[in-house]
Amino acid sequence: MTSNPSAQIHGSSSELSLDAIDLQDRCELSNRTGMDSETLKRAFLNNLFYVQGKFPALATTNDYYMALAYTVRDRLLQRWINTAATYTELGSRTVAYFSAEFLMGPHLGNNLINLGIYDQVEQGMAELGLSLDELQEEEEEPGLGNGGLGRLAACYLDSLATLDIPSLGYGIRYEFGIFDQDIRDGWQVERTDKWLSAGNPWEIARPEWSVEIKLGGHTEHYTDDHGNYRSRWVPDQVVKGIPYDTPILGYQTNTANTLRLWTAEAPESFDFRSFNSGDYLGAVYEKMISENISKVLYPNDDSSQGKQLRLTQQFFFVSCSLQDMIRILHGQNLPLENFHKKFAVQLNDTHPAISVVELMRLLIDHHQMDWEQAWTITHQTFAYTNHTLLPEALERWPIELFGSLLPRHLELIYEINQRFLDEVRIKFPDDEERMIRMSLIDESGERYVRMAHLACVGSHAINGVAALHTELLQKDVLRDFYEMYPHKFTNKTNGVTPRRFMVLSNSQLSKLITSKIGDSWIKNLKELQQLEQFVDDAGFQVEWRRIKQHSKTELATYIQNNNNITVDPDSLFDIQAKRFHEYKRQHLSLLHIVTLYNRIKANPDIEITPRTFIFGGKAAPGYFMAKLIIKLINSVGNVVNRDPDVRGRLKVVFLKDYNVKLAQRIYPAADLSEQISTAGKEASGTGNMKFALNGALTIGTLDGANVEIREEVGEENFFLFGLTTEEVYHKRAHGYRSRDYYHTNAELKLAIDRIASGFFSQGDAELFRPLVDDLLNQDQYFLFADYASYIACQDQVAAVYKDQTKWTRMSILNAARMGKFSSDRSIEDYCRDIWKVEPVNVELRQC
Ligand code: F58
């Protein structure tokens, strides 16, 4: 085993002569590692001078932010290098989390919390006349994800490090992340997210570990020296993958794991070829094409199928990562046969599923392994997490496109498929229909490669992300695979990190909790249960309420500054923050708003609980209906917020550009969390967990993790409404007619008629017609069927809110009973049941 301390991240076996650093040098390191307020300040000013090249009089806020970020990074580096050294020496079994998205959110605050120096740094900055809050605002967040799936990956990295599990996150370093959202005239407008333009102090490029990726071309067949028939891939394009590493520090531990993201570049040799032949522009063009690969994150339209660049991105990062892992294996002098012993790879949905084939190709074509052994290693390596129940969201690639980009992989898929279908035939003889359904190739019309099938066949474990979701996968979406391989299926209910979504974002509530039960809940969220003993303690209730009120006031100020809308912090803050999608039913909440408005218009003196409805979220740029719903929210807001009859009792706010930063402001300020998807559509949801952890009550359907949240907090502390999944299936099967509900529910009819009439669109009765027509004629997400139950439930919410003691009690119980939903618990489940990996203790060995 090498003693190179950085070999797991550096992967080289050459000796680094740390011993040559003499004692004095080592102690000078303390300027870069010391954690007391004085040392931190000194280091900060040093970085301002030597890294930013500024003295205070000329420094901008960004200079200060950068200087602080480097000060923090220095402290991370010491832990990072020690962690890598430890893993390398021990040859530790390592989790590789493969994900096309990592929605990390800003790093500064989180790193300060995990290092345990937040308060010192805040004080130190204040002494220098700087506000830590302002410096944190300066950070451009890396928005390298669309929503829940990408954020889950980020929470899991935090928990992996906190639990001292050796792990690497592998993904793509998109130059442009999820678009920035503007609102113009009520419509969503997208802007490019240039998150790297001011530089990224958290990453380190590692060009020395670049790898080459082949694309396109054709295959050739030949007989090798041992007389074996073999295939060789002759690509027509080669690109270079360059890794950029970001340290991921755990909470109160020395473990700092690595997030390794790949950037695509043209290999120099390609430039040269064109350049030498005088084709300078050709060379530059080549470079441009190559660099496109990691240029932009795909927004999640459901129609992302058939986009060549997306398949290229997937293959690119998977191939880079697998080659990198083989390099690490070799660097630790481990044989390739041990690949699955060294690494457990988790496939975050099907986006990295091509890795099943790529690992087979690397083992067989590059390392001359025989098929059986390669297959054993491959399927022992991978495990697959499914995140969706929407059939239209299951990835498939047209064979033509697939074969033109990855000709060798298509051959291997045919071979895998043939062997797999032989197995199916043996287990289920004479069941041709089943073979057609299960095949890796969809041949019902145009031919496609089915990525979910590939992931199921190539993995030893398959999981859903909430109990109901896993059950529905087994019964419905992946039923044939469950019947074939029941032992592969497990549930792994999602979780969220309490470090970012409590300690950092709700420091006052966190401090109150810690003052009562100590701080071990931060690493062991189940301990929150001890709060139950204070649920009837009047003093505790007052404090709990005061903190909620404080967060609401802060959000009210934000709304005033950003939307120029005055909202009352005493009103009920009713919040729905998530991606816009019809199945999530933001428009069901809109029907509630319009209903309340209609009640006021019919009787302006009606007794009503004042509410502020807050929405946040992005719609995929090509998703017309989702964008129309955003427009409708803003249109309804324009009318309701100004109508004197309303007397400020209802306010509707759309917060633009919902991202991790904004989410951290929103969760602490919520009274009511809207989790109102059609039952059977939301795989899990994780916002639902973050809201409840911060003391919001949930109004929700029996969907995704709502079911388990309700089980935990108690049905008396959860506002339940709506059809169950079974009822939805039943209605669909027996001819659902939304119009019947419209005709029989007067309030629903009035709400729809108001929207249809052009009342909210300055008389334009055409604007919202697509939405209204869809609801009246189709309503595939059953808004009308759930409307009455939703409104009745909301009336109950309003009544309970009037009793602030009761509400506060419910709020405390919600937070106290959220222990299950820590991502630490999720990760422990994965480690035990799927990855079979143990924690590794890291000692700090340098100054
Ligand atoms: C989400 N999926 C689920 N997909 O919708 C949510 O219920 C779950 O809690 C979460 O995963 C974590 O398990 C999701 O966010 C995407 O954003 C895809 C990105 C790539 C294109 C297709 C959508």
* Whether residue 579 lies in the annotated active site: yes
Q: Is the pLDDT of residue 32 over 50?
A: yes
Residue 272, pLDDT score: 53
pLDDT at residue number 369: 97
Query: Which atom of ligand 1 approaches the CA of 101 most closely?
Result: 19
| Interacting residues of 839 by C-beta distance below 8 A, sequence separation 6+ | 163, 164, 165
19: pLDDT strictly greater than 60 = no
Three-state SS annotation for 523-561: CCHHHHHHHHHHCCCHHHHHHHHHHHHHHHHHHHHHHHH
Q: Is the pTM value of this prediction over 0.85?
A: yes
Q: How many CB atoms lie within 10 A of CB 545?
A: 17
Structure tokens that stand for 291 in this block: 């660099």
Nearest CA to ligand 1 atom 12: 149
The number of C-alpha atoms within 13 Å of 359 and in the hemisphere containing its C-beta is: 31
Based on the residue annotation, tell me whether 578 is a catalytic residue of this protein: yes
Q: How far apart are CA 167 and CA 164, in angstroms?
A: 9
The vertex-258 CA angle with 255 and 264, nearest 5°, equals 175
What residue's CA is closest to ligand 1, atom 18?
300
From 609, 612, 686, 701, active-site residue: 686
User: Which numbered atom of ligand 1 lies nearest the CA of 465?
Assistant: 13
Query: Above 70 in pLDDT, residue 355?
Result: yes
- Cβ atoms of 664 and 504 within 8 Å: the answer is yes
Structure tokens belonging to residue 162? 């906190």
At 25 the pLDDT is 52
Mutate to test the pocket of ligand 1, among 304, 314, 385, 387 (most ligand atoms within 8 A of CB): 387
**Cβ neighbours of 644 (radius 10 Å):** 7
Residue nearest to atom 16 of ligand 1 (CA): 149
CA-proximal residue: ligand 1, atom 22 (nearest): 300
Q: Please answer whether residues 705 and 687 qualify as being in contact, where contact means their C-beta atoms are separated by less than 8 angstroms.
A: no
Identify the architecture of domain 507-724+783-818 in CATH.
3-Layer(aba) Sandwich (3.40)
Given 690, 754, 817, 825, the catalytic residue: 690
Query: Which atom of ligand 1 sits closest to the CA of residue 385?
Result: 13
Q: How far is the CA of 352 from the centre of ligand 1 (A)?
A: 14
190 has pLDDT over 50? yes
Pair type for strands 256-265 and 237-249: antiparallel
The reported pLDDT for the residue numbered 267 is: 86
Pocket test for ligand 1, best of 350, 388, 583, 830 (most atoms within 8 A of CB): 388
What is the residue extent of each domain of the chain?
Answer: 507-724+783-818
Confidence of residue 276 (pLDDT cuts 50, 70, 90): low
What mean pLDDT value characterizes the chain?
A: 94
Rounded to an integer, the average pLDDT of 513-525 is 98
**Ligand 1 atom closest to Cα of residue 494:** 13
**Lowest mean per-residue pLDDT among 224-238, 422-436, 486-500:** 224-238
Amino acid at 356: V
pLDDT at residue 21 above 60? no
Task: Pull the structure tokens for residue 753.
Answer: 């008629």
**What's the pLDDT band for 393 if we cut at 50, 70, 90?**
confident
584 catalytic? Reply is: yes
**Range with the poorest average pLDDT among 226-240, 354-368, 599-613, 658-672:** 226-240
Lookup: tokens for 474: 């087994």
Core vs surface per residue 147-181: b (16+ CB within 10 A) or e: bbbbbbbbbbbbbbbbbbbbbbbbbbbbbbbbbbb
Given this model, what pLDDT does residue 846 score? 57
pLDDT score, position 18: 40
Neighbours of 73 (CB within 10 A): 21
- CA–CA separation, 824 and 807 (whole Å): 29
pLDDT band at 415 (very low <50, low <70, confident <90, very high): very high
Position 279 scores a pLDDT of: 77
Tens-digit pLDDT profile for residues 134-150: 999 999 999 999 999 99
- What pLDDT was estimated at residue 12? 39
For residue 690, indicate whether it is catalytic: yes
Is the pLDDT higher at 731 or at 283? 731
Q: Output the pLDDT for position 696.
A: 99
Q: Which residues line ligand 1 (CB under 6 A)?
A: 146-149, 152, 300, 304, 387-388, 393, 465, 494, 682-686, 704
Query: What are the residues whose beta carbons fall under 8 Å from the beta carbon of 379, sequence distance 6 or more?
Result: 356, 457, 458, 459, 460
Query: What whole-number distance in Å separates Cα of residue 819 and Cα of residue 298?
Result: 34
**CB-based contact 814:713 (threshold 8 Å):** yes
Question: pLDDT per residue over 218-266, tens digit each?
Answer: 999 999 988 989 999 999 999 999 999 999 999 999 999 999 999 999 9
Determine which residue's CA is closest to atom 2 belonging to ligand 1: 149
**DSSP 8-state assignment for residue 19:** G
Question: DSSP states of 62-126 as a string?
Answer: HHHHHHHHHHHHHHHHHHHHHHHHHHHHHT--EEEEE-S-EE---SHHHHHHHHT-HHHHHHHHH
As a whole number of angstroms, the distance between CA 821 and CA 492 comes to 11
Could you give the CA distance from residue 762 to residue 681 in angstroms, rounded to a whole number? 34
Q: C-alpha distances in angstroms, 274 versus 216, 217, 267, 279, 313?
A: 19, 19, 12, 5, 25
- The answer to whether 674 and 580 have CB atoms below 8 angstroms apart is no
Q: How much distance in Å is there from the Cα of 782 to the middle of ligand 1? A: 21
Told to judge if 387 belongs to the known catalytic residues of this protein, a careful annotator would answer yes
